[in-house]
Structure 1
Amino acid sequence: MADAADLTISQMTLVDWLDDLTVRFLLNLPPAELSSVPRLCFQVEEAQWFYEDFIRPANPTLPSLNLRQFCLTLFQHCPLLRNFNAAQHLAAYEEFLAYKVRVPVRGAILMDDSMDKVLLVRGWKKGASWSFPRGKINKDEPDLDCAIREVYEETGFDLNAAGLVERNKIGDGKVKAIDVTMREQHMKLFVFRGVALDTFFEPRTRKEISKIQWYNVKDLPGFKKQKGVAAHGQGEGQSTKFYMVAPFLGHLKKWIAWKSHFFVQRGGPGDDYRR
């Protein structure tokens, strides 16, 4: 016999759920959030994820809505935004997209102890490219805290719990970081050496990461000045599958060479990551 709550959920219409999501994600926002189109739209994006990840699986008869469709639908439904016309709703959505691609990104380059391999993640959508674990920084969030959070969300690996944050601090007491700007978006990736190759990885987020895999650093396109096929990348248009990785490889190569110089002098990697 079906649970009463399940019956209620299955009987709720799209309008019912829009009411629910408006209250859940928008109506109780502080004034500063409500007055900012980008911040408001980030909340709408959270609502869309919730709708697709939890509501639709419970009631598959509800329509699937991409972010644009969902955003415009919720704008028209929300009492706070109902006084704006369709053109203004669309302008707000386009402003959000322009802002979104400029939000700074923080993440991490995870390497094994020998620095021969790096951990890459692949997005959920069909044809998604490989990248280092990373994501957009929250308002007032410290860079390193964001990187640690994103690594945990995308791989399930806790850098703090593993002791790798303290272990990878260099002479100035900070973790090595590589900065790259792509299409007006600033990205900072912190470099962590010492992740065990037999570590179990599992995303903590839903429908964001489809695959997590170790790659040989030297096999990645752009690491060497030669043409070749990346490991495990046969038939995938290898270079385009790693376009989010390639901009960091030149800097990473120099850092590995610098670290390796100390290893040769000291007779092996050892446990001193602070050099």
Structure 2
Amino acid sequence: MPALHSAFSFANSTLDQVLDDLSVRFIINCPPEELASRVCFQVEEAHWFYEDFVRTENASLPSMKLRDFTATIFQHCPLLRKWSATHEQAYENFQTYKTRIPVRGAILLNHDMTKCLLVKGWKASSSWGFPKGKINKAETDQACAIREVIEETGYDVTPLLNANEFITATVREQNLKLFVVRDVPLDTIFITQTRKEISKIAWVDLNSLPTYAKSSKRKVQGANKYYLVVPFMLPLREWINKHNPQQQQQQQQQQSKDLKKKSKKSSNINKNGDNKKQDLAELEKQFLAQFPNINMKYQVHEPVPQAQPQQPHQPQHDSQQEYVDPAKTILALLKKTPIKY
């Protein structure tokens, strides 16, 4: 009886053998009508498979960035070799196209809506963000958001997701739509279903995030760390205020206190005189409170009281005394006083 051949393994494979396998898996077996429009997507999936699975079994194989991997497989695969001279342009076009693919995801909140769930990329330099990803062809917004949250956190938001509760933003020409999902238990155990994509999953206090709290210092601190979170903070805060009666009541009470303070201060200014420095400081404070997402690196226009129309210059004099024109006085003196040569 002939010996059975052992199953193929990447552990002892050469780079050429691995590229042969990847070419068959992702390129050659792809239907021709799909390959023509999805060749770069197929190459990207082959790259993920290579880094996530192949190199896990065979660490001696070189790690490659997508650009280098694209050049390598274009030269190796028979179906792609004829385009190997133009692979660089194809790569650049693909990267530009990817930045315009709509992104869908979800903002997961606890019951009190004081915390949100964030995920961190695999690399040490990666930033934090909401679970999200690019939408697939013919995929609905809700289906994409549910799939991406499951892939990145292992949590299924289907029972909690409301198709009418979402926030949209545009970042670098890319449309992002995140559904707001409430009542996620804080004791939920999140386990990513991805490989080498998500390194951390954590609940984060909303007040600690840049631009959410009314603190100018937080606008600067952590801006790069949460740059994909910041565009959603102001609309998220407004959304929470509308859907949380307790926070809305607290906000109304605070606004009432601010109005009383403003009225009292205006009364004191009218009685004690105009105090321009204090008035401008108060106006600036109110401006920043109303627009907490203003980036302090930019110049903020400070409201300035309207200038009064300039009056013709009048010399100072006692109102009880009759005003005397200085020119007429000088002429009168010249007439009375003889000029000596």
TM-score range, shorter chain: 0.7 to 0.9
Which of residues 109, 112, 119 is equivalent to 1:111?
A: 109
Higher RCO (CA-CA < 8 Å; seq separation 6+): 1
- Identical amino acids, percent of aligned pairs: 53
Given residue 27 of structure 1, which amino acid in structure 2 is its aligned partner?
Answer: I
* CA separation of 1:5 and 1:222: change in aligned 2, threshold 3 A: farther
Task: Find the residue that maps to 1:152 and give its secondary structure.
Answer: helix
Partners of 2:10 and 2:246 in 1: CA distance: 61
Task: Pick the structure with greater CA Rg.
Answer: 2
* CA separation of 1:253 and 1:79: change in aligned 2, threshold 3 A: same
Task: Find the residue that maps to 1:125 and give its secondary structure.
Answer: coil
Matched residue, 1:80? 79
1:150 matched to 2:151: no
Instruction: Describe how 1:223-242 pairs up with structure 2 within 5 A.
Output: 223-228=212-217, 238-242=222-226
Aligned-pair CA distance for 1:250: 1.0
Matched residue, 2:327? none
Given residue 16 of structure 1, which amino acid in structure 2 is its aligned partner?
Answer: Q
Task: Find the residue that maps to 2:81 and give its secondary structure.
Answer: coil
Partners of 2:212 and 2:75 in 1: CA distance: 49
1:251 matched to 2:235: yes
* CA separation of 1:205 and 1:85: change in aligned 2, threshold 3 A: closer
Aligned-pair CA distance for 1:8: 5.2
Aligned-pair CA distance for 1:35: 1.4
**RMSD of Structure 2 on Structure 1 (CA):** 2.1
Partners of 1:129 and 1:32 in 2: CA distance: 37
Task: Find the residue that maps to 1:10 and give its secondary structure.
Answer: coil
Q: TM-score, normalization: structure 1?
A: 0.84
Matched residue, 1:204? 193
Partners of 1:259 and 1:192 in 2: CA distance: 12
Given residue 32 of structure 1, which amino acid in structure 2 is its aligned partner?
Answer: E
Matched residue, 2:160? 164
Partners of 1:228 and 1:200 in 2: CA distance: 33
Aligned-pair CA distance for 1:105: 0.4
Matched residue, 1:131? 129
Partners of 2:171 and 2:11 in 1: CA distance: 44
Given residue 118 of structure 1, which amino acid in structure 2 is its aligned partner?
Answer: C
Given residue 164 of structure 1, which amino acid in structure 2 is its aligned partner?
Answer: L
* CA separation of 1:31 and 1:8: change in aligned 2, threshold 3 A: closer
Instruction: Describe how 1:1-275 pairs up with structure 2 within 5 A.
Output: 5=6, 9-36=10-37, 39-86=38-85, 88-160=86-158, 163-165=159-161, 169=162, 174-228=163-217, 238-261=222-245
Aligned-pair CA distance for 1:100: 1.1
Tell whether the 8 Å contact from 2:27 to 2:39 is kept in structure 1 after alignment.
Answer: yes
* CA separation of 1:9 and 1:223: change in aligned 2, threshold 3 A: closer
Partners of 1:128 and 1:17 in 2: CA distance: 29
Partners of 2:67 and 2:148 in 1: CA distance: 25
Partners of 2:239 and 2:213 in 1: CA distance: 15
Given residue 55 of structure 1, which amino acid in structure 2 is its aligned partner?
Answer: V
Matched residue, 1:268? none
Aligned-pair CA distance for 1:123: 0.5
Aligned-pair CA distance for 1:240: 1.0
Partners of 2:108 and 2:207 in 1: CA distance: 15
Tell whether the 8 Å contact from 2:74 to 2:84 is kept in structure 1 after alignment.
Answer: no
Partners of 2:7 and 2:56 in 1: CA distance: 12
Aligned-pair CA distance for 1:262: 8.0
Partners of 1:216 and 1:42 in 2: CA distance: 37
Partners of 2:128 and 2:108 in 1: CA distance: 14
Given residue 207 of structure 1, which amino acid in structure 2 is its aligned partner?
Answer: K
Gap runs ≥5 in structure 2: 250-341
Matched residue, 2:321? none
Partners of 2:242 and 2:13 in 1: CA distance: 60
Residues 147-171 of structure 1: per-residue CA shift (max 9 Å, x gap): 00000000010112xx213xxx3xx
Residues 142-191 of structure 1: per-residue CA shift (max 9 Å, x gap): 0010000000000010112xx213xxx3xxxx330111011110000000
Given residue 196 of structure 2, which amino acid in structure 1 is its aligned partner?
Answer: K
Tell whether the 8 Å contact from 1:175 to 1:191 is kept in structure 2 after alignment.
Answer: no
Q: TM-score, normalization: structure 2?
A: 0.68
